């Protein structure tokens, strides 16, 4: 924390080096067979993604990167050639005076939408915190938080939907079944958990259909937005704007933040990277891949807390979750032919109950996320549906 506040990477570097040395020891001690079968980093990765290896992840990420790079370049080229292509309508601009003093109404609206999505307030709480998160002791005590801002109406609302996705997974686990409290009832992996939050955030919240339901709620709560159509909201929430901060990234540039962290932590874990050179590698990558200049280490290598508390091997789960979400949602569309219209009408129960049956109640029955996806979708983890989804969506949004 002190190093980030002072943007002082040299003060942090020795601590980072010690942490990775410790995590190598932990992986070798707790997962010796996994480490011996592949590489030491596999032991760290397996703690978050059961059955996943670095070699398998290389193949998944290579295919994802190969599909994303030309799409992102095309979008950014379009933005340079036509700067107004994704301009916000005045009513939705973050600095519109209508948003001043709106935090209380934002919270009321977010709570209503959380209930509509299916969050059970009799088995959980919804509060405010500096950083949104989901926690709790068991499926009957699930706690979510978000944060609100006068200067960013989207932050609290999108954070709510994301955390509700996590919470629905937790509330939907085998809370009333024989397996309650046993390992089999636990979430399968961090990537599986992220697939649930990202499915609701990206496949639902960021869909056209959702804003047919949500725009009228915004019009009622914030009268100045009545001039903004559901299409305006949809376009506003799907703007591509590569930036410095991972947690603020759009869904098209977000995977590149993960690729960077995966490359760094894997090389550092293997002893192939000098800890002192990480900022230079970080900054060069951000410029090359996202055309973003990193002004200081606080905005670069020091922005995340994961490595500081030993979560080495965690970052890949975010993009694995996004990939899985696209596959799972495609299967849901096949199972629920009326799904888009249901979302448009604010009828979320069919999707929620399908997810509960296919994902939530299953817990850790399967040996790996690959096995879970084969049962639900017919295929293991595959970036193709994710890339198809992004290509179709952003091709239309940016007229590619």
Catalytic residues: 163
Long-range contact list for 265-273, CB < 8 A, 24+ apart?
Answer: 265/20, 265/41, 265/307, 265/312, 265/313, 265/315, 266/41, 266/54, 268/16, 268/20, 269/20, 269/23, 269/24, 269/40, 269/41, 269/44, 269/312, 270/39, 270/40, 270/41
Closest CA to 72 of 230, 207, 259: 259
DSSP H or E stretch at residue 280: helix 278-290
Please say whether the beta carbons of 318 and 258 come within 8 A: yes
Taking the C-alpha atoms of residue 167 and residue 133, their distance in angstroms, rounded to an integer, is 10
Both structure tokens of 313:
């091997």
Both structure tokens of 64:
């994802």
DSSP 8-state code for residue 1:
-
Q: Distances in Å between the alpha carbon of 244 and those of 66, 196, 264?
A: 22, 25, 17
Q: What is the edge-to-edge ordering of all strands in the sheet holding 134-138? A: 124-128, 141-146, 134-138
Taking the C-alpha atoms of residue 286 and residue 284, their distance in angstroms, rounded to an integer, is 6
Taking the C-alpha atoms of residue 89 and residue 195, their distance in angstroms, rounded to an integer, is 31
Please say whether the beta carbons of 142 and 109 come within 8 A: no
Taking the C-alpha atoms of residue 170 and residue 173, their distance in angstroms, rounded to an integer, is 5
Taking the C-alpha atoms of residue 282 and residue 250, their distance in angstroms, rounded to an integer, is 19
Rg for the chain (alpha carbons), in Å?
Answer: 21
Please say whether the beta carbons of 39 and 54 come within 8 A: yes
Please say whether the beta carbons of 197 and 162 come within 8 A: yes
Which residues make beta-bridge pairs with 138? 141
Q: Is 296 left (phi over 0), alpha (psi -120 to 50) or beta?
A: beta
Three-state DSSP class for 89?
coil
């Amino acid at each position: 924390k002190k190093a980030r506040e002072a943007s002082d990477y040299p003060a942090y570097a020795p601590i980072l080096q010690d942490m990775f040395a410790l995590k190598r020891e932990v992986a070798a001690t707790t997962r010796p067979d996994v480490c011996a079968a592949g590489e030491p980093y596999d032991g760290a990765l397996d703690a978050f993604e059961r059955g996943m290896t670095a070699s398998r992840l290389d193949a998944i990420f290579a295919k994802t990167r190969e599909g994303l790079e030309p799409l992102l370049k095309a979008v950014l080229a379009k933005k340079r050639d036509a700067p107004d292509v994704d301009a916000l309508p005045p009513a939705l601009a973050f600095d519109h005076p209508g948003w001043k003093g709106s935090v209380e109404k934002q919270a009321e609206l977010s709570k209503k939408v959380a209930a509509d999505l299916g969050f059970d307030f009799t088995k959980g709480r919804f509060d405010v915190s500096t950083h949104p998160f989901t926690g709790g002791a068991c499926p009957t005590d699930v706690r979510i938080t978000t944060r609100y801002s006068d200067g960013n109406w989207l932050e609290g609302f999108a954070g709510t939907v994301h955390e509700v996705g996590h919470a629905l997974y937790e509330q939907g686990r085998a809370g009333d079944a024989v397996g309650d409290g046993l390992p089999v009832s636990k979430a399968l992996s961090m990537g599986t958990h992220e697939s649930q939050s990202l499915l609701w955030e990206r496949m639902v919240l960021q869909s056209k259909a959702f804003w047919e339901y949500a725009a009228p709620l915004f019009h009622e709560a914030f009268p100045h937005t009545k001039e903004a159509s559901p299409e305006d909201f949809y376009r506003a929430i799907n703007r591509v704007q590569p930036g410095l901060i991972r947690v603020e990234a759009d869904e098209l540039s977000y995977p590149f933040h993960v690729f960077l962290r995966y490359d760094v932590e894997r090389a550092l874990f293997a002893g192939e990277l000098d800890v002192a050179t990480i900022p230079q590698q970080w900054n060069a990558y951000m410029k090359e891949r996202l055309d973003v200049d990193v002004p200081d280490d606080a905005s670069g290598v020091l922005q995340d807390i994961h490595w500081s508390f030993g979560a080495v091997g965690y970052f890949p789960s975010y993009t694995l979750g996004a990939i899985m979400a696209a596959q799972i949602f495609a299967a849901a569309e096949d199972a629920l032919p009326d799904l888009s219209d249901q979302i448009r009408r604010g009828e979320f129960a069919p999707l929620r109950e399908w997810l509960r049956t296919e994902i939530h109640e299953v817990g850790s029955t399967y040996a790996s996320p690959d096995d879970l996806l084969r049962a639900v979708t017919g295929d293991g983890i595959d970036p193709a549906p994710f890339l198809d989804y992004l290509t179709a969506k952003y091709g239309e949004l940016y007229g590619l």
